[in-house]
Amino acid sequence: MLSESSTATVRATLPAVGAAIGDIADLFYRKLFDAHPELLRDLFNRGNQASGAQRQALAGSIAAFAAQLVEQPDTRPDVMLSRIAHKHASLGVTPAQYDVVHTHLFAAIAEVLGEAVTPEVAAAWDEVYWLMANALIAIEERLYAEQGVVAGNVWLEWEVVSRTEETDDVARFRIRPADGSPAPAFRPGQYVSVQVELPDGARQIRQYSLTGAPGSALRSITVKRVHGNDAPDGEVSRHLHDRVRAGDRLRVSAPYGDLVLKSDEAPLLLASAGIGCTPILSMLEHLAESSHRAPVTVVHGDRSPADHALRTDHTALTAKLHDAAAHFWYENPEAGHPADRTGLVDLSGLVVPSGTHAYLCGPLPFMRSVRTQLLAKGVPASDIHYEVFGPDLWLAS
């Protein structure tokens, strides 16, 4: 809880800080990477830095945390903190790195806001920072302990057992620990970080959802080649598609992620778009293996059937469930595809049972649309869960 004196100061300065938070985040990252280029090379996603997505996410999370401290002082934004902590744990973030971030973030705040940053203002925002940082450190320590790893050393060597081309732009890699040890357990919907060494020596990291049942001997990651359009193509996805074959090794983290099934007994709606189907398929396989009896509504949107990665699995796993139906929308469907399933996902014709828990994964506009439709159908906001691939720009919007 923020102290009484700091609460008053943060409340008074939040509009000014909020208005400048984008400039602060931009300057912070420039200062950070000037002083520690290894962080951009080997920890931060260079693509997200180039696009500005990471800066937006940082700004949004700081503003959201500070606003909650002053507007709802008796509560903590645990959902946001958990999502950030899981991502940090998959990267191996250490407590010492929070000190580094603090140094350059507060230098940026002082430079952008100038004389407005009095000692009182600096102390209040310092308190905000360490409340957030220490909360994250505590969650991350617990996550590391649960996986039997330590901060800064989360990587294990895995062997690629096979590779399957699912679509022109999507490949599935089946992997296992290279030392022959059992694959770590994971919860349906979780992801791993994969670190690859690129031609310039950088060790870039990306997250990929685990597919397949959590109890299987092998794990699978499904990788979509990222086309940059007006920006460079995705560095890691390009490397995996162009260079990695059966027999190769990958550096893989323990599984993390907070988009996991909260209740197996409730009716479920599992909605995805594009490559966002991957955590959903893991959930479906788990539900099939556990003989889930409650209704399950499966929703997916894609450009066309040919672009729908793992479409056969999507259909087959749904068919294994006791009471489930799959509904696929395509913007460019094949001949004979139902007209009411053409275009963007539209839930108006679907019955959503009372008590439904919804899980969403896909592009942000898709998830916003589906969430709005679910709220209109009476699904409580607390029962709608989502996963963002990349920086969580929902907080920044």
Please give the positions annotated as active site.
98, 140
Say if CB 308 and CB 273 are below 8 A apart.
Answer: no
Say if CB 298 and CB 268 are below 8 A apart.
Answer: no
9: amino acid identity, one letter: T
The Cα diameter of the chain in Å comes to: 69
The token duo for 219 is: 């794990």
321: amino acid identity, one letter: L
60: three-class secondary structure by DSSP: helix
> What does the alpha-carbon distance between residue 226 and residue 171 come to, in Å, rounded to a whole number?
12
Q: 173 has which bridge partners? A: 163, 221
Pairing label, strands 203-211, 249-252: unpaired
210: three-class secondary structure by DSSP: strand
The token duo for 346 is: 């539209």
> What does the alpha-carbon distance between residue 379 and residue 384 come to, in Å, rounded to a whole number?
7
| Residue 47: partners with Cβ closer than 8 Å, 6 or more residues away | 226, 228, 231, 232, 234, 235
Pairing label, strands 324-330, 296-302: parallel
